[in-house]
Amino acid sequence: MSSFSILGDISAEQFLSEYWQKKPLLIRNAIADFKPPVDGNDLAGLALEPEVESRLVIGEKWQLEQGPFDEQRFQTLGERDWTLLVQAVDLWVPEVADILDRFSFLPRWRIDDIMVSYATDGGSVGPHFDNYDVFLLQGSGQRRWSVGGLCDDNSALLPHPNLRILAEQQFSEEWTLNCGDMLYLPPRYSHHGVSIGECTTFSIGFRAPTVTEILDDLTTELISQNKLLDVLKDPTLTPDMASDSIPSAYADQIRSLLNQYLNDDELLLNWFAQFITRSKYPELTDITGERRSARINDKIVYCNGERD
């Protein structure tokens, strides 16, 4: 069995079978002697640029501000209780993108981006859950992570105009991460990270499109190919079916009509390859020149876009 140093003593096979999308995992010293390739000043510099997606989360009530920012804003923030988050830093800093090579046990096209955060003492984005897998690699300093159980769309949230902050903080595990330590969290596990002094955190997130996004994009693709030209046909009708109620037999007809496309593996996989590798920041393609690829039935499909 092959092993990967970023997983510590756990093999890739064991991680994928026992932890991936199943339960959290703390990995001490995931990257030995890790030297974070960016610091708070680097992130602040990126956050000044209009092409870069950035946010500030400030104070105990988690006030949210969207970038780009100006230099004066950072001079007025104070010495504690704020966090700067910069999305897709791997697009701009090659040394950050190099971190992705350590995750070769997962499909590259599944990775979304590397978000890097800088936080002052007490900085936090609040207790929350994400709908995607994430590896939280500690950069400089320390961060204390509290981790709880699975959440869902019915989990109670605090009233907040921008962020999904959990109202009930019930955590079963607590760890302090040092530079080079890493925490893996499957989708929908509650967690809360609080900076101990100043720190940076590298968040390697994975793509998790919703059913709505999938259906919307697939339908758009089928329409562009003039594929959706078949019409609904009636099931075998009887006089008794001429009522105000729509017979359940129509559900079978609709399902059959849709399945002729959903059962077409070549159509579905070729669409999916382009959908899942599409750049989240298409306007940056000319700037970054990055390309993503996915192998479908021994054919590699490329799309211009972000690293991943």
Please give the Cα distance from 242 to 262 (Å, whole number). 31
**H helix or E strand, kind and range, residue 204:** strand 199-206
pLDDT of 302: 45
* 191 contacts: CB under 8 Å, gap ≥ 6: 127, 128, 129, 145, 146, 147, 148, 171, 185
Q: What is the pLDDT of residue 286?
A: 59
Low-confidence ranges of the chain (pLDDT < 70): 1-4, 285-308
End position of a domain, from candidates 175, 206, 237:
206
Same domain, 63 and 189: yes
Quick one: 47 and 176 in the same domain? Answer: yes
Q: Which two tokens stand for residue 35?
A: 């030297």
Residue 308: per-residue pLDDT: 31
In one-letter notation, the amino acid at residue 79 is E
pLDDT given for residue 241 in this prediction: 83
Q: Are residues 113 and 85 in the same domain?
A: yes
Q: Is residue 16 domain-shared with residue 164, that is, in the same domain?
A: yes
Domain range spanning residue 145? 5-206
Beta bridge partners of 256: none
Let me know whether 146 and 251 are in one domain: no
Kindly state whether residues 45 and 187 are assigned to the same domain.
yes
Q: Are residues 195 and 235 part of one domain?
A: no
- CA gyration radius, the chain: 23
- Is the Cα dihedral 22, 98, 123, 85 positive or negative? negative
191, 206, 221 — which closes off a domain?
A: 206
- Which residues pair with residue 84 across a beta bridge? 56, 118
Domain co-membership, 136 together with 221: no
Which of 176, 206, 236 finishes a domain?
206
Please tell me the predicted confidence (pLDDT) of residue 53: 96
Residue 97 sits in a domain whose CATH number is: 2.60.120.650
Q: Are residues 231 and 197 in the same domain?
A: no
pLDDT score of 184 = 98
121 and 232 together in one domain = no
- Which CATH number is 240's domain given? 3.40.366.30
User: 157-177 burial by CB neighbour count: b if 16+ within 10 A, else e?
Assistant: beeeeebebbeeeeeeeeeeb
pLDDT averaged over every residue in the chain: 90
Q: How many domains does the chain have?
A: 2
CB-based contacts of 263, cutoff 8 Å, min separation 6: none
Do 144 and 247 sit in the same domain of this protein?
no
State whether 53 and 174 are in the same domain. yes
pLDDT of 146-198, one tens digit each? 999 999 989 999 999 999 999 988 899 999 999 999 999 999 999 999 999 99
